[in-house]
Chain A
Amino acid sequence: MGLTLNETFLAVFCALAILSLVATGAGQWITTRTMDTMRRTRMAIVNSRVRSSWSVLALFTVAFVIGPHALLIVFAFASFFALREFVSLTPIKPSDHWALVVAFYFVIPAQYLLLFFGRANLFTVFIPVYVFLLMPVVMAVKRDQELYLQRVAKVQWGLMVSVYCISHAPAIATLPIRGYEGRGALLLLFFLLILFLTDLLQVIASNFFGGAALEVSPNKTRNGVLAGGSAGILIGTALGGLTPFLWWQAFLMSALIVVSGYLGTVVLSLVKRSLGAKVWDSNWVLTRGVLERFDALTFAAPVFWQVTRYFWVIRVDV
């Protein structure tokens, strides 16, 4: 396109800010004009999602202005709050205390430090291999065999979802793609925008088309998910200019993000229910409802990172 990096950033930033402003304003305007309580509650759901556009904008700005490494701190805290939430939902015993101390105070910093020092190979196997082997050993010290496997499995699952999966989001911005140096923040933005817009459009389309609500996500219907998902893929294809992908590659990658994101929503919703579903009132409190806000991201981030890394970093260098 012939734009310099800073010009691209400024253009994207302004476009996003204007869109967020318009969407927030329009949402508020429609809400104040509607008297019908049904529609008001629906608009409240839409508005609460529109608000997340500001966090997407904030994340992108941090990544671009301070550098992708500043994002590591933001996402490390996200992992911390997500794991805190996961552990709160899980029945744990006093004898698990040490394992949880290790999970919170050692595994989280270690995972993000590996990313900081660019150890991508160790970063991808640290939790699934080394922590997977370490946790049962730490838990074995207390010799408490009651529900041993279940307890070990739950801690490992919590770590995989809240730390391993979420840490792949900032990792997207650090992928060393040839000919795309310094633009990692744009790739992360592409990823976050697709997830965010798909979710928003799915909620809006579900309201528009109506139908029976899905069991796994009460705010969405089947037609709404399909329509919003397709729209998300098209928008992703159109945003291909931000990425190192050709248009058809951008199309496939968008589809990958949309589908894996949706599967993440389904799986995490089931996990939460099986843990004895409890709703964390997340209104305006940043540190609650983290798992719910990141459900699509937990699956989409590692998938997108792995596929991009394989085709645009590893295969290219061979």
Chain B
Amino acid sequence: MKFLPPIVWLVRLLVGAYPRWVGSAPTASQRIYFANHTSHMDTIVLWAALPRSLRANTRPVAAKDYWDKPGIRRAIAKEELNVVMIDRSRVDLNADPLDPLRDALEHGFSLIIFPEGTRSGQSLPGEFKSGLYHLAHAFGAVELIPVYIENLHRSMPKGAFLPVPIICTVRFGAAMKLDAGEDKDIFLQRARDSVSLLAD
């Protein structure tokens, strides 16, 4: 058996990243985990909260402008997390930023996405962007799992570069699906509520 990669150890040491499977179980079915976005550590924390067997097949989606920088960030993103880079700057207006995500889903990977698009710094998530809807529409068979990351905004507030150790739990809710003919805004609101509901 291989040891856990050091980044997972470090995350557990600092913030615990203890998983709570409230409404679903950790199974190998293809999923999109969508969570509230409060700090730069979210991506790693959610990934570290998954069991080892699922991590190999689960790829976090993260902003290219933050993670694709030379040095430690890119090393973590490429070698440990196997990140799907999303281009927020949209230099090429014809390219759909969701294409790399569709590609990963077609190859059978599960995804971790943060539909708010940017860090909110609040305990409850803000407005969701429409990417989650488009993916749910195109990949009806993939389970959508709401995830609430608790406490992390306290560990690393915006502007801080050193995380403070705080116990952080990651709650996984019940799988949801896009209903037939469901309106985009209603679906996004429903998805957002399912994350907020886990905050209790």
Contacts and interface: CB of A to CB of B under 8 A. Distances in A.
Interface in A82-109: 83-85, 87-88, 92, 94, 97, 100-101, 104-105
B167 A88 contact: yes
A228 B86 CA distance: 62
B173 interface: no
Given A88-B151, A287-B16, A288-B16, A97 B157 contact: yes
A200 to B, nearest CB: 27
Interface of A: 80, 83-85, 87-88, 92, 94, 97, 100-101, 104-105, 280, 285, 287-288
B164 interface: yes
A294 to B, nearest CB: 16
Contacts of A101: 162, 164
Contacts of A85: 167
A100 B167 contact: no
B137 to A, nearest CB: 38
Contacts of B74: none
A317 B123 CA distance: 58
A220 B50 CA distance: 38
Interface string B147-172: 00001001001101010111100000
A104 B12 CA distance: 15
Interface string B126-155: 000000000000000000000000010010
A79 to B, nearest CB: 11
B39 to A, nearest CB: 11
A114 to B, nearest CB: 21
Contact of B167 (A92, A97, A105, A280): A280
Given A94-B154, A287-B12, 6 more contacts: A87-B166, A97-B160, A97-B164, A104-B164, A285-B18, A288-B18
